[in-house]
Amino acid sequence: MKDILRKILFPNTTIKEYLSVTINGSIQEKVYLKTEKFFIDISETHYLLCLEPMVFGIWRNKEEDVVTLQEKSEFRMHFTDSTCDNDNLEKNSIAILTLDFFNKIEDECGTLFLLRLKRSRIHHISLFKTLFLFFAYYRKPKLSFNKFKSFVTAFSYPRKVCLISFNQNKYYNIFPMDLLGEIKDCKRHAFGLRHSNAALSKIIETKKIVVSEVSFNYKNIIYQLGKYHKANPPSFDSLPFKITYTSNFEFYIPEWAENYKEIKILETINLGSQMLLWGEVVNEKTLNSFESYLYHIHFLLYLHQQKKGQSYQLA
């Protein structure tokens, strides 16, 4: 019965949970933050930083009005597939999160507000198709339908995959991350590293980390490095690529990285399953030039895009 329904509901489709895509041009999805008193576009200033509980960082510059974000009221985060005004926001949202205030980092050039998930709604495809996918393919012992909805929503906006590098004496690690965010105007970076990450304690101790943007063409190598989140990698001599060194920290990075940023950690906050690292870019350099990066989206967003005839290119 499962196979019959799959062929009827999703013909000629390979069902996955998350998809790797590349984006030529700009991201078409938008994210808006709303309360009773304000409505703002946070598409380029919101960052997924923790999964359990789900926590988002929202950046506001000093010159922007931050008073309303400090209120104790609920916040609603709306995910849409295109630009939308306040009047049409509700009906055009493919997913909606309700959040409350959790914490904040006050910086000399702005504030990173940390909002924690309370509940979520999703409208990518019909409820029947959504329930079929969940119960037939996605349900796991620790994944409730509510948690599933929150993951769908969080990845209803493409999350860029970057490489993280760290060195200390004879220890090194290079691994991919998509729970991170860059505040370009004031050279700040936020990272949400799992507590089980093998390099986390060393990064906190030395207050140093390097982040690199990479092309989607190296997807297979990037994912191979992903297994070193919880384990020590092999000697760098046995890596399937040549390495180069950052100029200040002398951390290893792949020679095919587009760029790197050397970052000094300024503050840490325990968010739950992830530790938030907040840092300042102290040095950066461009090494190569690429047109497209690697992103992660949820399969339900991809189905919604297909329905509208505007899906991203699979990486």
Task: Tell me the domain boundaries of the chain.
Answer: 28-158, 159-286
CA distances from 266 to 81, 108, 198 (A): 35, 12, 20
> What are 164's two structure tokens?
């993280």
pLDDT tens for each residue of the chain, 315 residues long: 787 777 888 888 889 999 999 998 889 999 999 987 788 999 999 999 999 999 999 999 887 755 566 666 789 999 999 998 888 888 999 999 999 999 999 999 899 999 999 999 999 999 999 999 999 999 988 899 999 999 999 999 999 999 999 999 888 999 999 999 999 889 999 999 999 998 999 999 999 999 999 999 999 999 998 887 666 777 777 788 899 999 999 999 999 999 999 999 999 999 999 999 999 999 999 998 877 899 999 999 999 999 888 889 998
Instruction: Report the b/e string of 41-57 with b at 16+ CB within 10 A.
Output: ebbebbbbbbbebbbbb
Domain 28-158 class, CATH top level: mainly beta
28-158 and 159-286, same CATH topology: yes
Q: What is the pLDDT of residue 239?
A: 82
Q: What is the pLDDT of residue 13?
A: 83
Query: From the CB of residue 204, how many other CB atoms can be counted at a distance below 10 Å?
Result: 15
Q: Which of 285, 266, 287, 286 is nearest to 277 (CA)?
A: 266
Q: What is the pLDDT of residue 104?
A: 93
Q: What is the pLDDT of residue 70?
A: 65
Q: What is the pLDDT of residue 265?
A: 98
Q: What is the pLDDT of residue 68?
A: 60
159-286 fold: Pnp Oxidase; Chain A (2.30.110)
pLDDT one-digit tens code per residue, 145-180:
999 999 999 999 999 999 999 999 888 999 999 999
Strand runs labelled E in the chain: 18-22, 30-34, 39-41, 46-51, 54-61, 75-80, 93-107, 110-122, 159-160, 162-168, 171-177, 180-183, 188-194, 208-213, 243-245, 252-254, 259-270, 274-286, 295-298, 313-314
